[in-house]
Structure 1
Amino acid sequence: MTNPVLVEVVRSGFVESVHRGALVITAPDGSVRFFAGDVERPVYPRSSNKPLQAVGMLRAGLTIGDKELALGCGSHNGEPGHVEGALSMLARTGLTEDALACPPAFPLHEPSMLAVAAAGKRRAAMNCSGKHAAMLSTCAQLGWSTTDYVAANHPLQELIRATIADLTCEPIETVGVDGCGAPLFAFSLTGLARSFGRLVTAIGGPERRVADAVRAYPWQVAGTGREDTVLMRNVDGLLSKGGAEGVHSFALPDGTALALKIDDGAARARLPLLLATLRHLGIDPGDEAEALAHNVVLGGGKPVGELRVTAGLFG
C-alpha cells in the first residue's frame, strides 16, 4: 500500500488540518494504473453506486426513457424539474409520492428550498427520490411488491446486488442501509473505478445505456451549480457521480476511470482531489469546475489560505 492521499487545509501559511484518503485510477481493461492509500478494502460507495443500481434495474426489465433514467441515477437538487420528474415516473405506474421509502427532505437547491419552505419537507424533494421512483417503477412493471422494495431480500435488491458484484468483479462484503433507506453494498474503490470504466466502454446493453443517459442529461443527475452536472457539461464524454462521505468516481470515454474516498468524509476535500486527477490525466476540467472546488480558505470574508493536494502525489 502506498501512502494515503493528503489534502491540506492551509490558513495564513499554516497547515491547519489534513484530510486523508485513498485514490485509484484504472485502465480501460480494468487493471490498476495508479493508486494511493488502501484501495482494496471494502467501502460504502454511497451515491456513487447509483449508475450501477440503474444497470440492475434495466437488467430486471425496467422500461424507462433516457431522461428519467438519468434522474434515477441522480442525487438531485430537488428543483421543480427534479420533483416533477420523480412524480411523473411514479404516476405512469399508478403510484404516488407516498410509495417512496426515502425520507422527506427540503430541496438542496436554496432558491427551490425557500420557495417551498412553508409547505414543509416532502419525499419527492429528497435527493434520492429519482432512484426510488425508478426502483418502484421497476417493481410495478414486473409485478413485484412495492411496499417492501428497499428490503435487502426483495427480488429487485437481490438482482441489484448481483449486478454490482458482476460490474465490480468482486463479492459483496457487507450490506448496509444508505441514508435514503435503500440497501447499500460495500466493495473496494478499485471495484468502483473498474465498474465505471465498464459502463462507458460497453457495446450497447444496459451498461452503455446508463452511461449515455447520464452524460446526455447531466442536470437530471445533480442540478444547477452542482459538480457532477458542471463536470459532465464541461468535459466531453465524462461520466461522473459523487457520493456522501467523500466518495467520487468518474470515467473518461476511453474507459480510464477513477474512484476516491476521503477517510473523514469531508466533502470539501473531494473535488480538489478529483480535479487534480483530471489534470494529471491531461483533461482540463474548466473554469466553472475549478471555481466549485472551494480551494480558497476564508478569514473575515477574505481569502487567507487554500486547500491543496499533497505535492508530488502523481510523481
Structure 2
Amino acid sequence: MNAPAPLVELVRGGLREGVHFGSAVLLEADGSVRTEIGDARSPMFPRSTVKPAQALAMLRAGLELPDDADLALGASSHNGEPGHVARAAAVLARHGLDEDALRCPPDLPMHEPSRESWLAGGAGPGRLAMNCSGKHAAMLATCRQLGWSTADYLDPEHPLQRGAREVVAELSGDRVELTTVDGCGAPLFAISLLGLARLFRGLVTADGQARRVADAMREHPWLVAGTDRDDTALMTAIPGLLSKIGAEGVLAMALPDGRAAAVKISDGASRARGPVAVEVLRAFGEDTASPELRAIAEQPVLGGGEPVGVLRVVPGALG
C-alpha cells in the first residue's frame, strides 16, 4: 500500500506552514492509468461523489422525470438556495409527498445568504434545506412510481438501495464488500479511487441512461452544487466536464473523451479540493485561465483581512 503523498501546501510569509496529504489517480481516455499517487487501490468511502451512480440506479429501476433538471438535482449536493429547495419540494409534491417523507437529517442551507434569509424568516433546520434533499426526493419519487415502500427506502436491502449498490459495483469494476451509512442516512459503499475514476469515465463514455445522468449534471451545474461552489465553477468553465465533490476531501471528474480522475485528501480538507481539481485539469492539458477556475486554483490565506499567504498544489505533485 502506497502512503498518501503531499498534494497541497499552505505557504505564509515565505514559510511552508502545512501540507495536505492525499491520493489521486488520473486515467487516459482509453481507461489506462496515466498517473497514480498514494493509495488509489484500497477501499475508501467516496461519499457524495457516487450520487450520479445512485441517480443512474433510479433511472434503471424505472424512474421517469419530466425535466432533466430534476435529475441533476437528484445527483446534487446543493447549497439549499431557494431554487434548490423549491425544486426538491416540487418533486415530492408531484408524488403526493411532503418534507416529512424525507429521511435525510434536518439542516440549514449551506449558502450563507440563503441561510441568513432562512433564519430571518423564523425557520430552523429543515430536511428540504439539507444538501442531499434532491437525492432523497428522487429516491422517494422512484419508490412511488415503482410501488415500493417509502418508509424504509434507506434500508440497504430495499430494492432501491440494492440497485444502487449494483450500479456502483458495475461502473467502478470493484467488489463492494464494505457498506456503511452516509451523512444523509443513505447506504454508502466503499470502492477504490481507481474504481471511482472508472465510474466517472463510464458515465461520460456510455450511451443511454448513464449519459443522460452526465448530461443533466453538465447542463445544470448550479443545481448540482450552487453559488460559489467548486462543482459549479468547474462544469461552467470546462465544456463537457462532469464533476462531483464529496465530503472528507473526495473529488471525481471526467472529460467528454473519457479522461477521468479521482482524488482523496487524507485529512478531509475541503478547501484543498479546488486547487487539486484545477491542477488535474492542467495535467490533462485543459485551459484553466477562466475567472471561475482562477478563483479556486489558489485559496488565499488572510491576515488582518488581507492576503498574506496561499493554499496551493505542491509544485510537481501531479507530475
Normalised-by-shorter TM-score class: over 0.9
Q: Which amino acid aligns with 1:105?
A: D
Distance 1:2 1:253 in 2: 31
Structure 1: runs of 5+ lacking an equivalent? none
Correspondences of 1:163-182 after superposition (within 5 Å) = 163-182=167-186
- 1:76, 1:222 within 8 Å by CA — same for their partners in 2? yes
Matching of residue 309 in structure 1 with residue 313 in structure 2: yes
- 1:268, 1:294 within 8 Å by CA — same for their partners in 2? no
Matching of residue 251 in structure 1 with residue 282 in structure 2: no
- 1:47, 1:75 within 8 Å by CA — same for their partners in 2? yes
Structure 1 stretch displaced more, 280-289 or 83-92: 280-289
Q: Which amino acid aligns with 1:237?
A: G
Any idea what the Cα deviations from partners look like across 1:68-96, whole Å, max 9, x if unmatched? 00000000011111111111111111111
Matching of residue 199 in structure 1 with residue 203 in structure 2: yes
Question: Which residue in the other structure is 1:144 paired with?
Answer: 148
Distance 1:63 1:302 in 2: 50
Question: Which residue in the other structure is 1:260 paired with?
Answer: 263
Matching of residue 131 in structure 1 with residue 142 in structure 2: no
Matching of residue 290 in structure 1 with residue 276 in structure 2: no
Structure 1 SS opposite 2:11: strand
Correspondences of 1:1-315 after superposition (within 5 Å) = 1=2, 4-64=5-65, 65-117=67-119, 118-203=122-207, 205-285=208-288, 286-315=290-319
Q: Which amino acid aligns with 1:87?
A: A
Structure 2 SS opposite 1:261: strand
Q: Which amino acid aligns with 2:96?
A: G
- TM-score, length basis structure 2: 0.96
Structure 1 SS opposite 2:128: helix
Q: Which amino acid aligns with 1:265?
A: G
- TM-score, length basis structure 1: 0.97
Structure 1 residues 300 and 5, CA gap change in structure 2 (3 angstroms): same
Distance 2:230 2:178 in 1: 29
Distance 2:74 2:223 in 1: 8
Distance 2:163 2:197 in 1: 21
Count of aligned pairs between the two proteins? 314
Q: Which amino acid aligns with 2:92?
A: L
Q: CA RMSD in A?
A: 1.3
Structure 2: runs of 5+ lacking an equivalent? none
- Identical aligned residues as a percent: 58
- 1:78, 1:124 within 8 Å by CA — same for their partners in 2? yes
Any idea what the Cα deviations from partners look like across 1:147-183, whole Å, max 9, x if unmatched? 0101111111011101110010111131011110111
The Cα shift of 1:261 comes to 0.3
- 2:74, 2:138 within 8 Å by CA — same for their partners in 1? yes
Any idea what the Cα deviations from partners look like across 1:41-69, whole Å, max 9, x if unmatched? 11111111100111111111110120100
Distance 2:204 2:296 in 1: 25
